Chains A and B, each alone.
Chain A
Amino acid sequence: MENIYTLTEDEKDVLQELMNVAYGSATAIVADMLQAFAYLSIPQISVMQTNELLKTFEELKSKSYFFSTQGFSGEFSGESAFFINEESANNLAKHLELEEKEDLDDAILELTNILTSTLTTKLAQEMETEVSFSLPNISKVPLEEITEVETFQEYSQVIVIDTDLNFKEQKINGKIFILTKDESILWLKTKLNTLLELLI
């Protein structure tokens, strides 16, 4: 059976470029929030099955992760997942001069929120649609338990937009995954092709 949930090279190119721009804005805001400089990396885009996605987490070496998610809905719907390891989280706390442990969780939630909101809103704008966001939530998950995390079981096919958040000097690094469900992938393809057609 032909897999309809794949992106062509051209579609990927467009999506990558849109994400690039959205990501630039998001990072600038986060950089502002942290009063630090972010090294922008190129987002990697791929479409894959959820179980394949989980394999990519094996590359993440740290023992336990802060893992926060935020859902968004509209014509374009899905969920974002943000991973940050313990070391980076502690550096974030130090950098923001946070006093209590609860504040760190809150800061990570905020980081997720800003990243997702900006990314997804910008993306949505380019596609001439609107999205609304639900409350982000956070959990501290040891690497072994990631496969049991419910978020990943809901999606069969996901578009994975894999970007690194890189504040080199402050040693704060994270990874964002934007996950969209099957129907949204189709919707996305339509929109991307519309944009491509304008160029012809």
Chain B
Amino acid sequence: MAKNKTQHSLRTLDIDTKIVSNIDNGIIVLDDELHIHYCNKWMRIHTNLKEENTFGKKIDTVFPNIKTKTLTRKIKTALKIKTPTFYSASTSGYLIPIKLNQIKSSKFQYMQQDVSIIPIDYENNLVSLIITDQTDISNTNAKLQENILKVKELNAQLIKEKELSELQHQRLLSSSRSAAMGEMISMIAHQWRQPLTLINTLISSIKLKNEMGVLDKTTMEESFGKIENTVKFLSDTINDFKDYFKPNKTKTEVNLDELFNKSIFFLKDEMLQLDIKYVQNIDATISITTYKNELIQSIINIFKNSIDAFKEHNTQHKVIAVSVENKNNTININIEDNAGGIEAEILNKVFDPYFSTKNKNGTGLGLYMCKTIITEHLGGDISINSSLNGTKVAIKLPKAI
């Protein structure tokens, strides 16, 4: 019995020794004054430690890079608290300098190491240093840190670019507003031309009759009446424009038939001049809740585009037709003309800012602004289709935003 036990312990000892010799860790035994008592095969292979000339020597004479104050402190602490202390690769890099002679690239010249300092003999104040190669992990960590930094930078850049593009968008919108204002003013001017001419004519006529002495009371009163009406018309026009130009702060219920009537009112004269027939086919009961003025501005813009197209393309029977489909929660507005259509290559650019086919006066902001208004403020959608004949603009809007 006893013999077997002895054999068993001898075998175990043999295995322990074999493990210590073949383990992929460095093992050094030191005392609390840093004298080397033992080192394993791994240590001898990786460093120039040879049995003959190292035992008894202090470790800092063999490896001068070692900070003795720190090591001594850690060893003494381990012996005192009777549990291990450590060096971590992430904070200390390495304890024993072992140069890396690898072909694959590494951030580090020397092997990165985790070191555990384990108390093994309290009588003789001995500790065992277990050294583990952490170079791979350290490299991975370093790459990870680099990537994290890159991602942070890219993020910051993206945020900046987003802010910039938001800024640009706002600038474009305000340019659009200014351009639209310009258009409105020219529409007012256009609207006013004839009435002003009329007033002038009436006044000249009165003056002439007066000078000639043939001005009678009736003619005068008639003329004054006409002048008053015309002045009222001029004033109303201004008010109308003012009203329709202000952006709405609140949504209101809008009857579509009336809305289109109002919109077309501003362009009636021009359309008459160009001999454009206008067809409006809208169920008088359809109403939606939306921002009225903004919708009017968009519609006017679309009409103007058709009118301008007719100026370039002299179709025989010019028509602009408007129809509205009533769906469950939405309405579909279709504005169609026969002004010759838009070429395919140009069609998908029409909503881009600064894109214009008009020569002098086109600022190109009209449809861009329309799209922005319809999608961002009115919660809807706008699309455009074209054939050789003409163009159709379809606007989808929710019945209530």
> What is A's interface to B at a CB cutoff of 8 Å?
29, 32-33, 102-103, 105-106, 109-110, 113-114, 117-118, 121, 133, 135-138
Contacts and interface: CB of A to CB of B under 8 A. Distances in A.
A33 B82 CA distance: 15
Interface residue range, chain B: 20 to 34
B86 interface: yes
Contacts of B81: 29, 114, 117-118, 121
Q: Which of B67, B90, B93 gathers most chain A CB within 10 Å?
A: B90
A106 B114 contact: no
27 contacts: A29-B77, A29-B80, A29-B81, A32-B80, A33-B73, A102-B92, A102-B93, A106-B92, A109-B86, A110-B77, A110-B85, A113-B85, A113-B86, A117-B81, A118-B81, A118-B83, A121-B82, A121-B83, A133-B83, A135-B86, A135-B114, A136-B86, A137-B88, A137-B90, A138-B88, A138-B90, A138-B91
A144 to B, nearest CB: 14
Given A29-B80, A33-B77, A110-B77, A102 B85 contact: no
Contacts of A114: 77, 81, 85
B87 interface: yes
A137 B77 CA distance: 18
B74 interface: yes
B84 interface: yes
Contacts of A117: 81, 83-84
Q: Which secondary structure dominates chain B's binding surface?
A: mixed
A94 to B, nearest CB: 15
Interface of B: 67, 70, 73-74, 77, 80-88, 90-93, 114, 116
B115 to A, nearest CB: 10
Q: Which secondary structure dominates chain A's binding surface?
A: helix
A29 B80 CA distance: 8
Given A29-B77, A33-B77, A102-B93, A109 B88 contact: yes
B70 A103 contact: yes
Contacts of A109: 86, 88, 91
Given A105-B91, A109-B91, A137-B88, 16 more contacts: A29-B77, A32-B80, A33-B77, A102-B91, A102-B92, A102-B93, A106-B91, A109-B86, A110-B73, A110-B74, A110-B85, A117-B81, A121-B81, A135-B86, A135-B116, A136-B86
A106 B248 CA distance: 65
Nearest to A103: B70
Contacts of B90: 137-138
A154 B114 CA distance: 25
A29 B86 CA distance: 16
Contacts of B73: 33, 110
B128 to A, nearest CB: 15
A133 B84 contact: yes
Contacts of B82: 121
Contacts of A135: 86, 88, 114, 116
A102 B70 CA distance: 12
Contacts of B114: 135
Q: Which of B80, B83, B87, B116 gathers most chain A CB within 10 Å?
A: B83
A117 B93 CA distance: 23
A124 B85 CA distance: 18
Q: Which of A29, A114, A138 gathers most chain B CB within 10 Å?
A: A114
A110 B91 CA distance: 11
